[in-house]
Structure 1
């Protein structure tokens, strides 16, 4: 069975969509006939709509979303993927690093939802996807700030899902697994990279596009759920032509 998604006429906002998983998703949305609008501090690949914004800045996020709505008149999906992943032990963690991680990874999602979800509620339709990590439940040496932000996002998403379920807006979480992105390479050099490769494996950004398109689509009749992409699922893509 082959899955095909039709996003004709739909608009999907993707924070952190200039690189990695977000960039792969933007390409997937556009290929499905929709319009991906990337919110990022850096520019995405050519041909992708882009608004330069730091998601940690609430007023900038509000202004960016208002601009998207003014231009397109709708936002059907929000994928909040902007994140930073510094590495520092708990005992060496600087206050500025801790604050910045939570401001981007957690606050940025809150500001995006506050800007986008009221529009979805008014339309009685919409899908929001946020990202968590296996580190949220297991922890990982040197990743306290990142792991804490990802754990908090699960509770946040489940709460928001419960608050807007009557308005036909879905909020789900994806745990993409370990993906070979620029951010991953920066945070996991040397032995750490070998650890992930030798244990659960390292996938490609394109491996996550299918699960994300599913969660954005009306086929995902679910909310408040966490979709975990296992290592075996990475290998499955090699059989699908």
Structure 2
């Protein structure tokens, strides 16, 4: 999906400096997109790296302005910036709760608010938010993370309804536990006991999540408001 079939296809990926965001940025680049990475750190494997805090609405708007000046109209957005931690509810203090919501949920909303109206005005665009399988099914010790990611599913479906008929598609990818640095070496998601519960006996690979994201971005408006869950067979 692109603004001009003869011009560059421009995508913005938040959290593009590492983990899932970096994998998605690489997949989009390989597919011919010009990728602008928005992150707190430099996004080295992108056509343009812009350092911005997704919780800062003004910084995000300025970053998107720069992307459109330097690369062209944004035809695709992926909101992959996020944080994760495992804590029982009694240890989730106010600061931890608000940080999780600010980065995962508000960061998604802020970036969409900066990009989607431009897409609607042009009558074309595709958005993929990154939720989590935990946001759908929950898990012990993940109350604040699951809450933030579950809210992204609701946000995505509501936004898809809001832009229905404008030529803009909005979907979410809700991955299972993925093999990225976000999961520490002693994470329970890396344990043999957990992996044994998965049909494929391994964590989801970042490239698999990137492939799911690319599929949704290029599916057009035939798919909107959908949740795609690459989760190593955890839910069948």
**Structures share fold, TM-score greater than 0.5:** yes
> Secondary structure of the equivalent of 2:99?
helix
Residue 25 of structure 2 corresponds to which residue in structure 1? 26
Residue 136 of structure 2 corresponds to which residue in structure 1? 137
Residue 232 of structure 2 corresponds to which residue in structure 1? 231
- Cα pair 1:15 1:79 within 8 Å, conserved: yes
* CA displacement at 1:138 relative to structure 2: 2.5
- Cα pair 2:177 2:231 within 8 Å, conserved: no
- Large movers: runs of 4+ above 3 Å: 45-48
* CA displacement at 1:197 relative to structure 2: 2.0
Residue 68 of structure 1 corresponds to which residue in structure 2? 67
Residue 206 of structure 2 corresponds to which residue in structure 1? 205
Matches within 5 A, 1:139-218: 139-185=138-184, 189-194=186-191, 195-200=193-198, 201-218=202-219
- Cα pair 2:168 2:221 within 8 Å, conserved: no
* CA displacement at 1:219 relative to structure 2: 5.3
Residue 101 of structure 1 corresponds to which residue in structure 2? 100
> Secondary structure of the equivalent of 2:207?
helix
> Equivalents in 1 of 2:150, 2:25: separation in Å?
25
RMSD: 2.1
> Secondary structure of the equivalent of 1:147?
helix
> How many residue pairs are counted as aligned between the two chains?
226
Post-superposition CA distance 1:164-195 (Å, at most 9, x none): 01111100011122210011227xx2544214
> Equivalents in 1 of 2:187, 2:173: separation in Å?
27
The verdict on how the C-alpha distance between 1:165 and 1:63 changes in structure 2, with shifts beyond 3 A counting, is same
- Cα pair 1:55 1:112 within 8 Å, conserved: yes
Residue 125 of structure 2 corresponds to which residue in structure 1? 126
Q: Decide which moves more: 120-129 or 86-95.
A: 86-95
> Equivalents in 2 of 1:160, 1:151: separation in Å?
14
- Cα pair 1:178 1:196 within 8 Å, conserved: no
Please list every run of 5 or more consecutive structure 2 residues that lacks an aligned counterpart in the other structure: none
- Whichever structure has more helix as a proportion of its residues is 1
User: TM-score, structure 2 length as denominator?
Assistant: 0.89
> Equivalents in 1 of 2:161, 2:71: separation in Å?
28
Residue 221 of structure 1 corresponds to which residue in structure 2? 222
> Secondary structure of the equivalent of 1:208?
helix
> Secondary structure of the equivalent of 1:91?
helix
- Cα pair 1:15 1:38 within 8 Å, conserved: yes
- Cα pair 1:10 1:75 within 8 Å, conserved: yes
Post-superposition CA distance 1:90-148 (Å, at most 9, x none): 11111111101000000011110110001100110000001221211332222111100
Please list every run of 5 or more consecutive structure 1 residues that lacks an aligned counterpart in the other structure: 1-5, 234-241
> Equivalents in 2 of 1:46, 1:209: separation in Å?
15
The verdict on how the C-alpha distance between 1:220 and 1:206 changes in structure 2, with shifts beyond 3 A counting, is farther
